[in-house]
Amino acid sequence: MNPDRFRTARWAVVEELGDGRWRLTVRDEADDELGAFGLGVEGPWDPDVEPHVGFVLTQIGLALTGARPWRADELGDQRAPVLPLALVG
């Protein structure tokens, strides 16, 4: 995966698709979609899905910001601010 693909990412948005299925989108400051992922985990947001989302974000080089980053947005989706992880090396 291209490490620059999510360089401008500012938001992680998780949408419930029904039947316990979830979709993660990564968006920039203008709320344009940079990428989308089916999460492959079923169940309620807490405790099943939320930890999985954090793991997926780390795998694509992003980190949640803030002590309690998740909030419901105007569409009822879960939204949290993200920033690219600092490269070590």
Q: State the residue range of the domain holding 13.
A: 9-84
Contact 74, 50 (CB under 8 A): no
pLDDT digits (tens, 9 = 90+) for 54-70: 999 999 999 999 999 99
The answer to whether position 48 is within a domain reads yes
Distance separating alpha carbons of residues 72 and 87, to the nearest angstrom = 30
Show the CA angle centred on residue 31, arms to residues 25 and 37, nearest 5°: 10
pLDDT digits (tens, 9 = 90+) for 13-40: 999 998 889 999 999 999 999 999 998 8
Distance separating alpha carbons of residues 89 and 86, to the nearest angstrom = 10
Give the number of other Cβ atoms within 10 Å of residue 21's Cβ. Answer: 15
pTM: 0.89
Segment (H or E) for 37: strand 33-38
Count the domains in the chain: 1
The answer to whether position 4 is within a domain reads no
| 83: pLDDT strictly greater than 60 | yes
